[in-house]
A and B are shown apart, each in its own frame.
Chain A
Amino acid sequence: MLSPYILNLIVLIAIYGILAMALSFVIGHGGVLQFGHVALFGVGAYASAILTTTYSFSFSIGFLGAMAFGGIGACMLGMLIRRVRGDFMALTTFFFAFAFYALVLNVPELTRGALGIPAIARPSIVMSLPSYAIASVVTLVVVYLLLTRILHSPFGLVMGAMRDDELGARVLGKNTAHVQRVALVLSGMIAGLAGALYAHYIGFIDPSSFYLGDLVIIVAAVVIGGLGSLPGSVIGIAIYFLIPEVLRFINIPTETFGAVRQIIFITVLLLIILVRPKGILGKVLLDT
Chain B
Amino acid sequence: MTTTIATQLALTILISGSLFALSAVGFTLVYRVTKIMHVAHGVVVLGSGYAFWWALQRGASASFAVAFTIAVALAMGWCIHTFVYERLRTRGKIAITMSLVATVALLVLGQNILLALFGSSTRVVSFSKQLSSADIHTLIVGVSLVSIIFLGMFLRWSRLGKRMRAVADNSIAAEVVGIDSARVRLSAILLSAVMGGIVGILYAMEFNLDPSMGSEIAIRSFSRVLIGGAGSLPGAIFGSFLIEGVEDVGAFFYSDGLKSVFSFVIVFLFLLLRPRGLFGRKIRKEDL
**In the complex, what distance in Å separates the CA atom of A286 from the CA atom of B102?**
14
List B contacts of A81 (CB < 8 A).
271
Q: Is the interface of A mostly helix, strand, loop or mixed?
A: helix
| Chain A residues, CB < 8 A from B112 | 259-260, 262-263, 266
At the interface, yes or no: A152 with Cβ under 8 Å from chain B? Answer: no
Main secondary structure of the interface of B (DSSP, over half): helix
- How near does chain B come to A253, taking the closest CB pair, in angstroms? 9
How far does the Cβ of B153 sit from chain A's closest Cβ, in whole Å? 28
Residues of A near any B CB (own CB < 8 A): 33, 35, 79-81, 83-88, 90-92, 94-95, 98-99, 102-103, 105-106, 212-213, 215-216, 219-220, 223, 255-256, 259-260, 262-263, 266-267, 269-270, 273-274, 277, 285-288
**B23, chain A: closest CB distance, angstroms:** 16
Contact A98 to B219, CB < 8 A, known contacts A87-B37, A213-B108, A286-B97: yes
Separation of A240 and B134 alpha carbons in the complex (Å) = 48
Contacts of B255 in A (CB 8 A): 106
Asked if A33 contacts B271 (CB within 8 A), the reply is no
Contacting pair A219 B104 (CB below 8 A): yes
Interface string of B68-103 (1 = CB under 8 A from A): 000000000000000010011001011011101110
Q: Which of A85, A87, A259 contacts B115 (CB 8 A)?
A: A259
- Are B271 and A80 neighbours in the complex by a CB distance under 8 Å? yes
Within the complex, what minimum Cβ distance (angstroms) separates B283 from chain A? 7
* Cβ 8 A contact of A255, one of B106, B119, B283: B119
B258 is an interface residue with CB less than 8 A from chain A: yes
Instruction: Tell me if A106 and B219 are in contact (CB < 8 A).
Output: no
Give Cα distance in the complex from A99 to B259, angstroms: 11
Complex interface: chain B residues within 8 A of A267 (CB): 109
Would you list 24 pairs from A and B whose C-beta atoms are within 8 A, ordered by A residue? A33-B101, A80-B271, A84-B271, A84-B275, A86-B288, A88-B230, A91-B100, A95-B219, A95-B267, A99-B268, A106-B261, A212-B212, A213-B108, A216-B104, A216-B105, A220-B101, A220-B105, A223-B101, A260-B112, A263-B109, A266-B108, A270-B109, A277-B94, A288-B96
User: Are A260 and B116 touching (Cβ within 8 A)?
Assistant: yes
A33-B101, A263-B112 given as contacts; is B272 within 8 A of A102 (CB)?
no
Partner of A83, one of B96, B109, B222, B275: B275
